[in-house]
A and B are shown apart, each in its own frame.
Chain A
Amino acid sequence: MERSEILKQFEPANENMLNILHALQNNNSQNYLSEEDIKIAANYLNTTYSHIYGVVTYYTMFSLKPRGKYIIRVCNSPVCNMENSTKVIEEIKRFLSIEVGETTDDKRFTLELSECLGRCGKAPGMMINEDVIGNLDNVDFKSIFENYN
């Protein structure tokens, strides 16, 4: 979608800043906020580039770096950690041959760690974009990841 079409869905008010940044980032095929995205948001909200840059860098869900089509967020908070999330992270790293913060060569997956995702009843857990997957201590990652193309 054109950026202008996205902006039209929101009033040009500061209270919409995070919603606008989310929408721009979701619309970006590389799942990040480009310089152009920030410029356009600043212009629309009648504020400075540096102000928006400050906001973007404050929140962990925004990225200034291109990312994969799917963001894997593995929960690494104490409850998941107690249920062996460290091992889960190692297995995913091995399976995708990337480190945390990196993107696979085919640009499909970016691996990130997250604070509590609030799925502790099924720990350890992760999200792939908006999907939630729990009980990861005993799963076949191949069968999970092959659903995401």
Chain B
Amino acid sequence: MDFLSLKKEALTEWNDLLNGSVPVIMVGNATCGRSAGALSLIKGLNSEILTRNLDCKVLEVGCIGMCYHEPIVSIYNPGKPLIVYGNVHENDIEKLLEAHFNKNEIIIENIIGTIGDNKLNDINSLFDNPVMKPQERLVLNNCGIIDPTNLNHYLANKGYSGLQEAFQLSSQKVIERIKESGLRGRGGAGFPTWKKWQFCKDQKSDIKYLICNADEGDPGAFMNRSLIEGDPHSLIEGMIIAAYAIGANTGYIYCRAEYPLALERLRLAISQAEQNNLLGEDVLGSGFNFKIKIKEGAGAFVCGEETALIASIEGKRGMPRPRPPFPAIAGLRSKPTIINNVETLVAVARIMQNEPGWFSKFGTEKSKGTKTFALVGKVKNTGLIEVPMGITLKEIIYNIGGGISGDKKIKAVQTGGPSGGCVPANMIDLRVDYESLTEAGTIMGSGGLVVMDEDNCMVDVAKYFIDFAHKESCGECAPCRLGTKQMLDILEDIVSGKGTMEDLKLLEDLGKGIKNGSLCGLGQTAPNPVLTTIRYFKDEYIEHIQNKRCPSKVCKELIFYDILPDKCTGCHICFKVCPASAISGDPKELHKIDQSLCIKCGMCMDKCPEKFSAIDVYPGNKVLED
């Protein structure tokens, strides 16, 4: 079937779905939905529909980004807009179906918003919700809206029209369209996409490769997973366009094995594309041949580095090699190879689906378009977001994220994962673009945005990141292999009260050495979380070193638990739960913690009945304080 007929058929199906006479129930069934119980919800929904003998369709869609509202269920009744409900659980099914199918009502409490042209009473459109309003969904526009397993849904939403457009142009003209868009690599480094492509295109070689890097491993990042799970065909379209531009006939998607659902969705999407002449020989009659193979990782963070990724595909230990030559000149099997991130390639599809100038309308002068982020940590609204470049951290955290959970005070924002840094609270007016973040000592990174509050100890956070880098170091370069271990040892000393002031200087020296002496991005950036926390939170380090206190009450060696004599009623619960037998006292008598036996597990404080709240935790050491 030719493209126009494919599209026509798809449009008919799509229009019938959301304007048709049959009600539709959509359930967010990406991994975040599933981890909140979407699978059992769907099972319950289907059986209740059967019991009630209802005529309606149940569709599984991707993630709309509001993780804190999962599981999300949307219901379409003919003539009404799609009504989106949040936090729907199995025991809500009967109530929902009763309201929508028997009483022609809606259930106000759980509604997040509506989608569609029709208005319903005074319920706001989902996209007017304060969480959604500051967002610009250029890349994520299909996620949570279409069924990712249905090619027709994608086709009906401009799907593969970007490819059709690209095939009308020469490959050089496609590169120019990407240049005009201002798109820069979304994997973190921000290198202009067109320039990389041009290097590769200009290479004389009968074989070239395109690789999609879906080995998303930064702690706190899941943008690529959600994007693939919710809209896999966008990635495939972007890959075909990129391959056409550089002249590659084989593409690889290197995806981490920890993402089984994303892999399943990709396999299905590739087979659908093959069946419809969107992949394979003579794609859409253009004369261009392209096939895509999937390669699963096996749990090695460094494989996200491009030369390590290539080694991994070649069936070797995934270790980096020196550049140059850059992969665009000599990559996979020494052939010119382009490696692009998932988000970059989806952005390519969108740029080609829309008119020239569309993408560059968004963003700042040097950072065009939008960026997806995984907004996690201590914000009220965690989830997947997409914002125009140049938005401030403050807008992201307080408008989209709804502020800090428990209304505590914000302490820091971490961007760029283990390669990035922590920006302190007084800098949250910082703009999110490549240049501003680098100037502040962190990086854009692939899109993890971890918000920390006053309960987070920055020394502990730094220790965690360096521990991560140490474990994930491939071991090739001594400065990274041994240096990260030394930094970890020093930080462990500091968090256990054995640190000295000289350690701070040593950490900084080691950090500089590791940055200068490592081959790949992992080593070159591994010290960043430590260096930025020393830069912005030196007081906390000093408090640990000189006063042996962890002000955030996190580092076990530098805190103590104590029983408040005026509140303890001798209920004896703490005595029973203490795994170290560190609590003494007879029932109805005042209890006491033996500090020399206490292992600081915090069980006593957790289990002390709320009405008494007789146990608290303090920074420092009780014996010393007394």
Contacts and interface: CB of A to CB of B under 8 A. Distances in A.
Interface of A: 13-19, 21-22, 45, 47, 54-55, 58-62, 73, 77-79, 81-82, 87, 90, 114-123, 125, 127, 130-135
A135 B486 CA distance: 34
A79 B377 CA distance: 6
B452 A60 contact: no
B216 interface: yes
B443 interface: no
B34 A132 contact: yes
Given A14-B315, A58-B318, A78-B464, A130 B35 contact: no
A2 B35 CA distance: 34
B374 interface: yes
Contacts of A134: 32, 35-36
A115 B299 CA distance: 8
A134 B346 CA distance: 28
B255 to A, nearest CB: 11
Contact of B35 (A14, A73, A132): A132
B177 interface: no
Closest 3 CB pairs of A and B: A121-B67, A14-B315, A134-B35
Contacts of A130: 260
A82 B422 CA distance: 15
Contacts of A19: 295-296
Interface of B: 31-32, 34-36, 67-68, 70, 216-222, 225, 257-260, 293, 295-301, 312-319, 374, 376-378, 382-384, 414, 448, 450, 452, 456, 461, 464-465, 468, 471-472, 474, 601-602
A111 B70 CA distance: 27
A78 B299 contact: no
Contacts of B464: 77-78, 81
B618 to A, nearest CB: 19
Contact of A117 (B70, B258, B319, B384): B258
A58 B317 contact: yes
Contacts of B378: 82
A79 B219 contact: yes
Contacts of A131: 34
Nearest to A133: B35
A18 B31 contact: no
B216 A118 contact: yes
A116 to B, nearest CB: 4
A16 B315 contact: yes
Given A119-B222, A130-B260, A15 B295 contact: yes
Given A119-B222, A120-B220, A61 B67 contact: no
Contacts, number: 141
Contacts of B222: 118-121
A123 to B, nearest CB: 7
B298 A21 contact: yes
Contacts of B35: 119, 122, 125, 132-135
B298 A123 contact: no
Given A14-B315, A125-B35, A22 B456 contact: no
Given A15-B313, A130-B260, A134-B36, A115 B472 contact: yes
A30 B31 CA distance: 27
Contacts of B301: 115
Nearest to A121: B67
A82 B452 contact: yes
Contacts of A55: 315-317
Contacts of B34: 131-132
21 contacts: A14-B315, A18-B315, A45-B315, A77-B219, A77-B220, A78-B414, A78-B461, A78-B464, A78-B465, A82-B450, A114-B258, A115-B468, A116-B218, A118-B222, A119-B32, A120-B376, A120-B377, A120-B450, A121-B70, A122-B382, A132-B35
Contacts of A114: 258, 299
A22 to B, nearest CB: 6
A43 to B, nearest CB: 14
A30 to B, nearest CB: 18
Q: Which of A73, A121, A125 has the most CB of B within 10 A?
A: A121
A115 B220 CA distance: 10
Given A14-B314, A79-B450, A116 B219 contact: yes
Contacts of B220: 77-79, 116, 120
A38 B219 CA distance: 32
